[in-house]
A and B are shown apart, each in its own frame.
Chain A
Amino acid sequence: MTGNDIGEGTRAHRAGNRRFGLGMLILIALAGAIGVSLHLMRHGSGPGSIPPLGAIAVAIGFTLVIAVGGWWGFRAVDEVEQRYSMIAATVGFFTQLAAVMAWTVLWIGGVMTAPSAFAILLASALASVIAYAALRIRG
């Protein structure tokens, strides 16, 4: 076999990539469907703008998609990708920990407004993405 032939390994590799891509598409579609449902149920903004049962259903839906999707995604990738994901998740977790502690102390000291859960979530997600990208670029 020459380097240009498609052997059994290449076929298996590409089939695995297709399966992973399909799985990701299904997860994105599920998350999108939940998001659209949330939008359709919502009237106005703030507490009470979503029916309680709808809110419970959306909360369970998002939790399931994240839990099952995360579990599946972690099992579907190889050990290098698992390592990168674990490092990125750890960086995100410590960013969250540091942000909560620092912001809370600054709030108590009257330097800042009360901590924003959304801003802290965004910061930790951003830290994870940067860590993951750095690992991928490095090797």
Chain B
Amino acid sequence: MNNRLRLLRAERGWSQEELGGRVGVSRQAINAVETGKYDPSLPLAFRLARLFGCPIEEIFDDRK
């Protein structure tokens, strides 16, 4: 699944470790999601959407 996580994170100047700590997962988990190697669970996707203040569909796109 494609996502804009890296872009959103970069806009805020956060490291993967910083973002991971804010949503309760490891730096490795953020890296796996950003590179498309792991699709997050719904609870994690909601936490990310809430943190970035946008709908889940603006972060993740399963159509491409």
- Chain A residues in the interface with B (C-beta under 8 A): 1-3, 5, 7-14, 16, 77-81, 83, 136, 138-139
A80's partner among B12, B14, B19, B32 (CB-CB below 8 A) is B32
A-side contacts of B32, CB under 8 Å: 80, 139
Task: Tell me how many residue pairs across A and B have CB atoms closer than 8 Å.
Answer: 69
Measured in the bound complex, the distance between the Cα atoms of B31 and A86 in whole Å is 20
In the complex, given contacts A13-B26, A79-B40, A139-B32, what are 19 additional A-B residue pairs having Cβ atoms less than 8 angstroms apart?
A1-B14, A1-B18, A3-B13, A8-B22, A9-B17, A9-B19, A9-B22, A10-B17, A14-B21, A78-B20, A78-B26, A79-B41, A79-B44, A80-B29, A80-B33, A83-B38, A136-B28, A138-B37, A139-B35
- Judged by a CB distance under 8 angstroms, whether B50 is at the interface is no
- Chain B residues in the interface with A (C-beta under 8 A): 12-15, 17-29, 31-33, 35, 37-38, 40-41, 44
* A contact face: mostly helix, strand, loop, or mixed: helix
B-side contacts of A9, CB under 8 Å: 14, 17-23
